[in-house]
Amino acid sequence: MIPLLIANSLALASLLIMMSSGLALIYGLRDVINFGHGALYMLGAYLGYSIAHVAGFWVALVASPILLALVGAALENLVLRPLQRRSHIEVALVTLGLGIILGQVLIFFYGGEARTVDAPLSLAGSVTAFGLTYPIYRLFLIGVGLSSCALLAIWLNFSTSGLHVRAVSQEPSVARMMGIDADRLSLLVTSLSAALAGVAGVLAGPYLSVDPGMDVTMIVSCLIIVVIGGTGSIPGAIVAALLYGFVQVAGSVFLPDLAALAPYALLMAVLLVAPRGIGRGRVLD
């Protein structure tokens, strides 16, 4: 019972980590919460669905994130950079609007009904270990989630560009004074976040489903995680995603009637104890 619970919450948390660390990265560079991040995830999922139909799941898992990275580059060049002198609230609202447009365009092309994506044959069965039978696909999901988390940590901590990202996130003006090109970094980070959303979207296909409401569900979860984790803090977002996944899964097991409200209860509880979240994020402004 308990191992199953932990495994399930890790599987959910894997998706949430990829999404919310992307949100936190963009916030660090541009001071903007991308309210359209859920729509990017939805785009990744629908692209994954189409590509998987034509060329198979593995091709989709590579191609969809690459396409999403291009969308991210467009978002940076056409929206975030031209609007960087505007107030952050206004830019956040513009991303909200763009997210709604993207979601509607997807619904226009794909229709309103939910789609299912089958896991590839090599990941289709389930495996028994420690007296527990568990679907291989979910283990794969956990593997991808945790390794993307590890790669992100290695990149941020052990590379020059990662150092620059951390510098800009902590002290934007000083970092610029020291000759760091924040615009170029932001292009990299926005593309990377969008690509992560693409990975999450494709992976969500066989695990959850591909449906028109997935963008709102995801962005609301991510916003809760980002607030709990301390905005802009990636370690905070990761811990919060794990916590969120556990609360969501445990809630649906122990309190099925109230499970939908569990994340909000968690949010309110954290806000009461620590209004700035559990991580050491930069203060929102």
Q: Which of 4, 55, 62, 101 lies at the binding interface for another protein (CB under 8 A)?
A: 101
Q: Which one among 18, 224, 237, 240 touches another protein, defined by CB under 8 A?
A: 224
- Least Cβ distance, residue 142 to another protein (angstroms): 26
CA distance 243 to 227: 13
Among 99, 201, 229, 236, which residue interacts with another protein (rule: CB under 8 A)? 99
The count of other CB atoms within 10 Å of the CB of residue 217 is 14
- Residue among 33, 283, 17 nearest 148 (CA): 17
Token pair belonging to 185: 């970094």
- The verdict on 272 binding another protein (CB under 8 A) reads yes
Segment 237 to 266, residues that bind another protein, using CB under 8 A:
257-258, 260-261, 264
- Number of chain residues interacting with another protein (CB under 8 A): 40
Residue 73 sits in the site that holds another protein (CB under 8 A) = no
Nearest to 45 by CA among 26, 59, 65, 20: 65
Q: How far is the CB of 54 from another protein (least distance, A)?
A: 27
The 10 Å Cβ neighbour count of residue 181 is 12
Dist. CA 229–CA 206, nearest whole Å: 28
Which residue in the set 96, 153, 167, 250 belongs to the binding site for another protein (CB under 8 A)? Answer: 96
- Among 74, 90, 114, 184, the residue binding another protein under the rule CB under 8 A is 90
Q: Which stretch binds another protein (CB under 8 A): 5-13, 56-64, 98-106, 203-211?
A: 98-106
Dist. CA 6–CA 9, nearest whole Å: 5
Cβ of residue 261: shortest distance to another protein, in angstroms? 6
Residue 78 in the binding site for another protein (CB under 8 A): no
Question: Which range, of 42-50, 164-172, 194-202, 269-277, touches another protein by CB under 8 A?
Answer: 269-277
Site membership for another protein, residue 181 (CB under 8 A): no
- Select from 97, 147, 174, 254 the one that contacts another protein (CB under 8 A): 97
Other residues' Cβ atoms within 10 Å of the Cβ of residue 167: 17
Q: How far apart are the first and last CA of the chain?
A: 43
Q: Contacts with another protein in 10-69 (CB under 8 A)? A: 33
Alpha carbons 240 and 255: distance in angstroms, whole number: 21
Of 179 and 256, the one with the shorter C-beta distance to another protein is 256
Contact between 85 and another protein (CB under 8 A)?
Answer: no
Check binding of 284 to another protein (CB under 8 A): yes
Residues of this chain that bind another protein (CB under 8 A): 33, 83, 86, 88-90, 92-94, 96-105, 108, 216, 220, 223-224, 226-227, 231, 257-258, 260-261, 264, 267-268, 271-272, 275, 283-285
